[in-house]
Amino acid sequence: MKAAGPHAQCYASLVPSPLTFALTATDPATQARAGVLTTPHGEVQTPVFMPVGTQGSVKAVHPELLHGLGAQIVLGNAYHLYLRPGHKLIQQLGGLARWTTWDGPMLTDSGGFQVFSLAHIRKINDEGVRFRSHLDGSEHMLTPELTMEIEQCLGADIAMVLDQPSAYPATRAATEEALGRTHRWAERCRQAHSRPDQALFPIVQGGFEADLRQQSAQTLVDLDFAGYAIGGLSVGEPKDVMWEMLQATTPHLPVEKPRYLMGVGSPEDLLAGIALGVDMFDCSFPTRIARNGALLTDTGRINIRNARFKTAETPVLDGCDCDTCTRFTAAYLHHLFMAHELLAYQLASVHNLRFMVRLAQDARRAVIDGWFAAFRAGFDAAFRPADAAVQAAQKTKWLEARQRKGVH
Amino acid sequence: MKAAGPHAQCYASLVPSPLTFALTATDPATQARAGVLTTPHGEVQTPVFMPVGTQGSVKAVHPELLHGLGAQIVLGNAYHLYLRPGHKLIQQLGGLARWTTWDGPMLTDSGGFQVFSLAHIRKINDEGVRFRSHLDGSEHMLTPELTMEIEQCLGADIAMVLDQPSAYPATRAATEEALGRTHRWAERCRQAHSRPDQALFPIVQGGFEADLRQQSAQTLVDLDFAGYAIGGLSVGEPKDVMWEMLQATTPHLPVEKPRYLMGVGSPEDLLAGIALGVDMFDCSFPTRIARNGALLTDTGRINIRNARFKTAETPVLDGCDCDTCTRFTAAYLHHLFMAHELLAYQLASVHNLRFMVRLAQDARRAVIDGWFAAFRAGFDAAFRPADAAVQAAQKTKWLEARQRKGVH
């Protein structure tokens, strides 16, 4: 086993987790929970939607506006930041928080998902994964130990272990092999991790085999972490398969620890995940579709480029409290998109992020007030999700595009 | 002569100009002046640099940040807004101010410069100019009367007349022909203009013939406007020719009226223009170069992509009071540009605009305090302008590119 990197000396003694989680309420009719996550950079009210700042910036959104829209915790990505500008540089510049000027809680993804979906040539064995950078073709070897070194240099409140997700579909044998490695890597990450002001979450995998998911949860719980993530979902599988896998997992996670469903998702999936007992969510979806002119409303997505918005004197969403809707008309946004004005991406991203952040806030309120199931039913009755087939096709297209171009 | 368009009825009687200008101080050693321009939407302290919002948005900059950086008056462009989304739509949506949510003073350029540099096929005669849209090839006829209709619908505090700039170089005969038309069009604009809460400025032309510039100033002054613009400069001619033309003009403009040098310019040109008695400036230069990663400092432009900024823990410009410099390091900006993050364009534009706005503010203070010449000499001693040949080549490239692509 390799040493823990430059931090091993600084933080030699293991101390209790810097993260605490307290349940505020549980829903009588579902598994939904409301809680408070306390991190070194402040409290996070859960359920929570976490905006994604892959390369150290939530795309097109000024940190001041992030605060304004109620973001409580923001993500960074170890894979991207390791490749550019480099984790040691970020450490030298005071860490991810100081560098980006985001002073609230942060979480860094390990880059497991990115290295398996973005990087070009790769060789996987128990030591780690050898890959070529999607940026310049340079060759790198990512190990659990290096991942911990990177994330400790970045210095987020929560770090994620290196994992090996399974593709959809995958053989049971391949899934088992990846899962065994994921568990061994989780243990090595735990050994290598030493930063006392940073919590570490493992990632439950197991592909699309319910028993492997259960086994993964139990194995990781035995290792005792501050919180647990569920990964490898929302990668192209049908929705019912995804929920089946989640249902196979959460009963085996400790009630008193936070649960994080990685890479999910759309408004309807956020509420479905909350109903199944998830506390934390992240997805690049709201900002990604925003830059394409797709804006979230209570009845579904709209395409702001549609000619019907040309003369619309109302906001994108009536009653929306985001900076964009309280200030600008849909007609103005329509024009900005038609004219390819950069302000368009900013205003649209702020709206969609506020929509997701507020939806999680409203769900939390409903859990506390004891009517989450009715709240969810009401939302789902009005909200028309993008057609499942269309959604799956978009996702596949996006996954392929990011593999080609290295775009997150 | 055509009627004045839909506003003729609403504003049938001509009333005194809605614009007043008061000189606060004049510099003893140069022609520099400090003044206050009072518009229906508030006061403007001159000399002033006006950010350019061609298509109804100062590129990449949220109106709130525009306020924050001290912008006092913002430009819109009649040519662009007539083509997309249409002036009547903007009028229906409450006018340019309400539509863009910029609540301070505004000025609209007539689009004379744009139609002659951007539009494709054209026929010019005394009636107006026939052109094909750079957006969709549709054919349009721009006349002085239509220009007034457009700008009255947009509803800025200051409208510009339609003019015919001369190219550089141009024959004397061609310059004379364009100038005569410019004068006849100015008179027709004056006749057609009827909006009582909007001032109208004519544009002095005359190409690169000092006597024609003088004649143009005198002719337009005889028509008695609320302020005077100097156009057709900074179009590729050598700098000394530009200043010679300005010097041939300003002595023939009334002391008590504001003077606006259109499309200028760089920091050193702003101070040179102020020294020659100009009060108002606009240019897309600071935001355009910002999007390319060129940032203004007291010693000249820097290219933030340069590797030396990778580790720079200092702001882009030490002591700069802009939102970008007070919050972010040069290292972070360097990364945003290298990673093609949209936030880069926002942060860089804010810095460059603040630099220009503050330079005009500082120059004003120096005029009031009686040491403008020394202030300018101090600035010029430290500031290394882009090499004149490089600058001219860039400008030519830009003019050609916008002619091809319709980019402002």
Measured between CB atoms, which of A100, A313, A345 is closest to B332?
A: A100
Res B315 pLDDT > 90: yes
At A15 the pLDDT is: 53
With tokens 């054919």, the residue in question is: B139
Identify whether residues B273 and B328 lie together within a single domain. Answer: no
Residue B281, classed as helix, strand or coil, is strand
- When scoring A332, A349, A407 by the number of chain B Cβ atoms within 10 A, the one with the most, hence best to mutate, is A332
Contact assignment for B342 to A89 by CB distance below 8 Å: no
Query: What is the rounded average pLDDT of the residues B32-37?
Result: 98
**pLDDT for A6:** 42
Same domain as A319, residue A358: yes
C-alpha distance from B335 to closest chain A C-alpha (Å): 7
Residue B396 falls inside a structural domain: no
Residues of A contacting chain B (CB within 8 angstroms): 55-57, 59-63, 65, 84-85, 89, 92-94, 99-101, 310-311, 313, 327-329, 331-332, 334-336, 338-339, 341-343, 345-347
**Cross-chain residue pair A93–B329, CB shorter than 8 Å:** yes
Say yes or no: A318 and A297 in one domain: yes
Out of A56, A311, A339, whose CB is closest to B89? A311
Q: Are A61 and B343 in contact (CB < 8 Å)?
A: yes
Within a domain: A215:
yes
Q: Note the pLDDT of residue B405.
A: 56
Structural domain total, chain B? 2
Do B130 and B214 sit in the same domain of this protein?
A: yes
Phi, psi angle pair for A42, to nearest 5°:
125, 180
B94 contacts on A by Cβ (under 8 Å): 313
| Same domain, residue pair A246 and A271 | yes
Q: Rounded CA gap, B340 and B334, in Å?
A: 10
Enumerate the residues of chain A whose CB falls inside 8 A of the CB of residue B93: 311, 313, 329, 331-332
For every one of its 408 residues, what pLDDT tens digit does chain A have, with 9 covering 90 and above?
333 344 443 443 445 689 999 999 999 999 999 999 999 999 999 999 999 999 999 999 999 999 999 999 999 999 999 999 999 999 999 999 999 999 999 999 998 888 888 777 679 999 999 999 989 999 999 999 999 999 999 999 999 999 999 999 999 999 999 999 999 999 999 999 999 999 999 999 999 999 999 999 999 999 999 999 999 999 999 999 999 999 999 999 999 999 999 999 999 999 999 999 999 999 999 999 999 999 999 999 999 999 999 999 999 999 999 999 999 999 999 999 999 999 999 999 999 999 999 999 999 999 999 999 999 999 999 999 987 666 767 777 777 776 665 444
Task: Give which of B100, B284, B325, B341 to mutate to test A binding, by max A Cβ within 10 Å.
Answer: B341
| Judgement on whether residues B156 and B210 belong to the same structural domain of the protein | yes
The proportion of chain B whose per-residue pLDDT surpasses 90, expressed as a percent, equals 86
pLDDT grade, residue B4 (50/70/90)?
very low
CATH code of the domain containing A241: 3.20.20.105
- My answer on whether B149 and B186 are in the same domain is yes
Mark yes or no for CB contact B60/A343 under 8 Å.
yes
A343: chain B residues, CB-CB within 8 Å: 57, 59-62
Claim to verify: residue B277 and residue B299 sit in the same structural domain:
no
* Residue pLDDT, tens place only, B344-394: 999 999 999 999 999 999 999 999 999 999 999 999 999 999 876 667 677
Residues B257 and B319 in one domain: no
Buried b / exposed e along A133-151 (16+ C-beta atoms within 10 A): bbeeeeebebbbbbbbbbb
Domain boundary among A218, A245, A277: A277
In a domain, A405, yes or no: no
Q: Give residue-wise pLDDT tens across range B55-97.
A: 999 999 999 999 999 999 999 999 999 999 999 999 999 999 9
- The C-alpha atoms of residue B204 and residue B319 are separated, in whole angstroms, by 39
Boundary-marking domain end, from B262, B283, B304: B283
Per-residue model confidence (pLDDT) at position A3: 38
Residue B399 confidence (pLDDT) above 80: no
Nearest chain A CA: its distance from B18 CA (Å): 28
Nearest to B158 by CA among B37, B264, B279: B37
| Whole-complex ipTM | 0.93
Of the candidates B56, B99, B343, the beta carbon closest to that of A60 is on B343
Q: Is residue A241 part of a domain?
A: yes
Amino acid at A97: A
| CB-CB neighbours of B10 under 10 Å | 11
Q: From the list A59, A94, A332, which residue is nearest B100 (CB)? A: A332
CB contact under 8 A, B56 and A332: yes
Mean pLDDT of chain B: 93
Give the number of A-B residue pairs with CB atoms closer than 8 Å.
107
Order of strands across the sheet that contains A158-160: A74-77, A106-109, A158-160, A199-201
Residues of A in contact with B311 (CB under 8 A): 89, 92-93
B184 plus B276 within the same structural domain: yes
pTM: 0.93
Q: Would you state the pLDDT for residue A332?
A: 98
The answer to whether position B60 is within a domain reads yes
In this structure, is residue B11 part of a structural domain? no
DSSP state of B386: P
The domain boundary, picked from B238, B255, B283, lies at B283
In a domain, B402, yes or no: no
Q: Which domain holds residue A316?
A: 290-390
SS (H, E, C) chain A: CCCCCCHHHHCCCCCCCCCEEEEEEECCCCCCEEEEEEECCEEEEECEEECECCCCCCCCCCHHHHHHCCCCCEEEEHHHHHHCCCHHHHHHCCHHHHHHCCCCCEEEECCHHHHHHCCCCEEECCCCEEEECCCCCCEEEECHHHHHHHHHHHCCCEEECCCCCCCCCCCHHHHHHHHHHHHHHHHHHHHHCCCCCCEEECEECCCCCHHHHHHHHHHHHHHCCCCEEECCCCCCCCHHHHHHHHHHHHHHCCCCCCEEECCCCCHHHHHHHHHCCCCEEECCHHHHHHHCCEEEECCEEEECCCHHHCCCCCCCCCCCCCHHHHHCCHHHHHHHHHCCCCHHHHHHHHHHHHHHHHHHHHHHHHHHCCCHHHHHHHHHHHCECCCHHHHHHHHHHHHHHHHHHCCC
Calculate the dihedral angle through the C-alpha atoms of A91, A93, A99, A103, rounding to the nearest 10 degrees: 70
Average pLDDT over residues B284-302: 97
Q: Which residue in B has a C-alpha nearest to residue A55's C-alpha?
A: B339
Residues of B in contact with A332 (CB under 8 A): 56, 93, 99-101
Q: pLDDT tens across B97-154, in order?
A: 999 999 999 999 998 888 888 777 679 999 999 999 989 999 999 999 999 999 999 9
User: Which positions of B are annotated as active-site residues?
Assistant: 109, 282
Tens-digit pLDDT profile for residues B241-261: 999 999 999 999 999 999 999
Chain-chain contact of A60 with B93 (C-beta, under 8 angstroms): no
Q: Which residue in the set B56, B92, B342 is minimally distant from A59, CB to CB?
A: B342
For residue B346, give the nearest of A84, A328, A346 by CB distance: A346
State the Rg of chain B over Cα: 20
Residue numbers in A near B313 (CB within 8 A):
93-94
* Chain B contact set for A92 (CB, 8 A): 311
**Cβ neighbours of A328 in B, within 8 Å:** 101
Residues B112 and B63 in one domain: yes
Same domain, A115 and A160: yes
Residue A135 Cα, gap to closest chain B Cα (Å): 10
Catalytic positions of A are: 109, 282
pLDDT, tens only, A55-102: 999 999 999 999 999 999 999 999 999 999 999 999 999 999 999 999
Please indicate, yes or no, if residue A3 is contained in any of the structural domains: no
